[in-house]
């Protein structure tokens, strides 16, 4: 019922997750990022605690691969879970034996894609290939392209209804946190949200750090 891409931008050091599902509000439960540490996704029969555990493990010095191994080994009902993680050293994933339908995970260049109840496993390969195709693009753009590629290769066995995009970079809060919690075309809606957000993203960071000198400060009608 879900497929995701977890990735890193080697150029900026940003980490992010893009995810879509037939279930509502998927990103609220399944996507996790921490600036300077990494990104993680937990899906299938989701346990949000595992995403936080993966970030904590990587923050303590574990690689993504070690964090995945340790968290999946210790988690109750691990056979129902799919986990993905990426840090500066690479990417890793785990799919439990009771993951639903056509399921799996594919590690790519700076990313990992995982999914369940898929139309075909080619969905995951399409995601990782699209993510890696143009590394000069913003991480958010690469993640959205990956979801679009997966959908174009068949996506889930049924329609998706929610999607999300979560990216952390050089401040302690996510610089991008966009969600489509219910829609007949959530990936297209996420694309539209990213197009709206992209030219404003860095201004919001600047305003948080130094409001008086930030772009647009004091402009009538601009209350950002």
Show the low-confidence residues of the chain (pLDDT under 70): 215-224
Count CA atoms closer than 13 A to 170's CA, side-chain side: 10
Give the pLDDT confidence score for residue 220 in this predicted structure.
Answer: 54
Domain ranges of the chain: 2-213
Give the pLDDT confidence score for residue 219 in this predicted structure.
Answer: 58
Give the pLDDT confidence score for residue 223 in this predicted structure.
Answer: 54
Long-range CB pairs of 118-124, under 8 A, 24+ apart, other chains included: 118/3, 118/154, 118/155, 118/156, 118/157, 119/153, 119/154, 119/155, 119/156, 119/157, 120/153, 120/154, 122/153, 122/154, 123/3, 123/150, 123/153, 123/154, 123/155, 124/3, 124/150
Give the pLDDT confidence score for residue 121 in this predicted structure.
Answer: 97
E strand or H helix that includes residue 206: helix 201-209
Give the pLDDT confidence score for residue 1 in this predicted structure.
Answer: 81
CATH of domain 2-213: 3.60.20.10
Give the pLDDT confidence score for residue 77 in this predicted structure.
Answer: 98
- Look up residue 209 and give its two tokens: 């750090």
């Amino acid at each position: 019922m879900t497929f995701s891409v977890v990735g890193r931008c080697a150029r900026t050091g940003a980490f992010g997750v893009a995810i879509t599902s037939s279930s509502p509000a998927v990103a609220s439960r399944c996507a996790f990022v921490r600036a300077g540490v990494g990104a993680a996704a937990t899906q299938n029969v989701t346990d949000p605690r595992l995403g936080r555990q993966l970030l904590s493990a990587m923050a303590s010095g574990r690689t993504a691969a070690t964090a995945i191994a340790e968290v999946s080994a210790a988690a109750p009902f691990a056979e129902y879970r799919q986990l993905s993680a990426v840090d500066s050293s690479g990417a890793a994933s785990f799919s439990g034996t009771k993951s639903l339908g056509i399921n799996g995970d594919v590690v790519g260049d700076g990313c990992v894609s995982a999914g369940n109840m898929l139309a075909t496993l080619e969905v995951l390969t399409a995601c990782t290939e699209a993510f890696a195709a143009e590394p000069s693009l913003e991480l958010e753009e690469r993640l959205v392209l990956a979801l679009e590629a997966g959908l174009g290769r068949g996506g889930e066995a049924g329609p998706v209804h929610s999607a999300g995009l979560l990216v952390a970079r050089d401040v302690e809060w996510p610089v991008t946190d966009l969600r489509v919690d219910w829609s007949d075309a959530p990936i297209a809606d996420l694309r539209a949200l990213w197009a709206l957000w992209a030219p404003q993203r860095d201004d919001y960071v600047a305003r948080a750090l130094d409001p008086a000198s930030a772009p647009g400060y004091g402009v009538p009608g601009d209350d950002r």
